[in-house]
Amino acid sequence: MIARLIQRLRRLHREQGGSASVEFVILAPFFIMFIAFAIELGMLSVRASMLERGLDIAVRQVRLGTGTAPSHDQIKDIICDNASVIADCDTKLRLEMIPTDLRNFTTLDATPDCTDAAEPSKPVRNFIPGGQNQLMLLRVCLKYSPLFPEQMLGEALTRGTDGDVALTTVSAFVQEPI
C-alpha cells in the first residue's frame, strides 16, 4: 500500500504538465492589481491636471478682466468649461475665494469646503470677490468617485461619508486695476 503511494507520488513529481498554469495563477492577481493601480493613478493625475488647468485659465481671465468682480457661478463655469475630463463638474465643484493681506498673511483653513452628496447642500462659503490690487486666494475642491474604490489606490485615498475622494488646488492672484 505504501509502495503504491510512493510510486504515484514519484510519477506526479516527474509530470510537468500544467506547471505554467500554476505560475500564472500565482502571478496574475499581482499583475491585475498593478494594472488597476496604474489606471486609477492615471485618472487621478488627469483629473488633477485638468482641474489645475481650468483654475489657471479662470484665474487668468479674472486677473486680466475688465475690472468687474466675477461671480461665483461665472468662475465655476470657466473652470468647468476648461476642465473637460471632469464629469458632472457643475455639481461636484466648490470654490472658496478669500482676500488676504500680504503683510499679514493667514493661511486657508486646513479642511477644504467640498460638496458631499450625503449631506444637504450648503451655501457658498467664503466667496468674497475682492477689490482692485488686492491679493486673493482661490481654492477649488472637486469630489469624484474612484474607478476601483476597493483596490489598492482607491482604498488608500481619504474618502468622505459619500465614498467620494476630494481633490483640491489653490491659486493666488492680484486683481488688476481698471
Any domain includes 143: yes
Any domain includes 14: no
- Please report the pLDDT score of residue 121 as a whole number: 47
Any domain includes 6: no
Any domain includes 104: yes
Rounded distance between C-alpha atoms, residue 1 and residue 157, angstroms: 58
Reported as a single tens digit per residue, the pLDDT across 2-16 is: 888 888 878 777 766
Q: Is the CB of residue 172 less than 8 Å from the CB of residue 165?
A: no
Any domain includes 15: no
- Across 146-153, average pLDDT: 74
- Please report the pLDDT score of residue 119 as a whole number: 47
Domain containing 127: what range?
A: 22-174
Distances from the Cα of 106 to the Cαs of 100, 135, 145, in angstroms? Answer: 7, 12, 32
- Across 134-150, average pLDDT: 82
Asked whether the predicted pLDDT for residue 53 surpasses 90, the reply is: yes
Structurally, the chain folds into a number of domains equal to: 1
Rounded distance between C-alpha atoms, residue 114 and residue 109, angstroms: 12
- Close Cβ partners of 173 (under 8 Å, ≥ 6 residues apart): 59, 62, 63, 135, 136, 138
For 83-126, give the secondary structure using H, E and C: CCCCCCHHHHEEEEEEEECCCCCCCCCCCCCCCCCCCCCCCCCC
Any domain includes 114: yes
Reported as a single tens digit per residue, the pLDDT across 62-115 is: 877 665 667 788 888 889 998 888 888 888 888 888 888 777 777 777 777 776
Asked whether the predicted pLDDT for residue 117 surpasses 60, the reply is: no
Q: Is the CB of residue 123 less than 8 Å from the CB of residue 154?
A: no
Rounded distance between C-alpha atoms, residue 146 and residue 157, angstroms: 9
What average pLDDT does the chain have? 78
Any domain includes 141: yes
Any domain includes 3: no
